Amino acid sequence: MVTGILIFNTYSEDFFSADRYVAKLNQKLKFIKAYSEEVIIVSNVPELLLPHTPRNIRIITEYYKGKGVIGRLHAGLSLSSYPTNIVIHFDTLPDDINLPHVLNRFYLTKSDLILFDPSYLNGIYRKSIVPLLAHALEQESSTHNAFEKLN
């Protein structure tokens, strides 16, 4: 069983155009739903997303405020229902991801994480890394250094 997690920046131009946001969201949801049983959106501006997001999609915010994408990654993994999680940043183009290949590699290698786009932290993660992420977020002032230590 797999959870799909969409991570948003604090603000995106797409939030201010409902049509553009909905089109982009539907593209991401179609892609991620093909591989997951549950979808979570992580954003610290849920009020902008709620009116345009299907009701069966959970929208959550990060626990570690001000920690950026890594803080949102932690929140999504923490609240996912399944041990395997596909994490995709909202600005990622699904066409650039060969998800069946990456999932197969993930299961064969029994990795805790496989990144397919490190710039956005796009990848497949095991929920088991949540305590390590939390520890790194609590210890580090730089979120980039925190993730580098995990990697």
pLDDT tops 60 at residue 147: no
What are the φ and ψ backbone dihedral angles of 54, each rounded to 5 degrees?
A: -55, 145
| 48: containing domain | 2-149
Is residue 141 very low, low, confident or very high in pLDDT (cuts 50, 70, 90)? low
Residue 17's pLDDT is 66
pLDDT, tens only, 86-127: 999 988 887 778 889 989 999 999 889 998 887 778 999 999
44: domain CATH number is 3.90.550.10
pLDDT at 118: 73
Work out the average pLDDT over 70-96. Answer: 91
Q: What is the pLDDT of residues 45-65, one digit of tens each?
A: 888 778 888 889 999 998 888
pLDDT band at 36 (very low <50, low <70, confident <90, very high): very high
Using a 10 angstrom Cβ sphere, with 0-12 exposed, 13-18 middle and 19 or more buried, the burial of residue 151 is exposed
Neighbour-count burial for 108-135, b at 16+ CB within 10 Å, e otherwise? eeeeebbbbeeebbbbbbbbebbeebbe
Q: Residue 27 carries which side chain, given as an amino acid letter?
A: Q
Count CB atoms within 10 A of the CB of residue 144.
Answer: 10
In total, how many domains does the chain have? 1
Which pLDDT score is estimated for 126?
Answer: 96
How many Cβ atoms are within 10 Å of 37's Cβ, its own excluded? Answer: 11
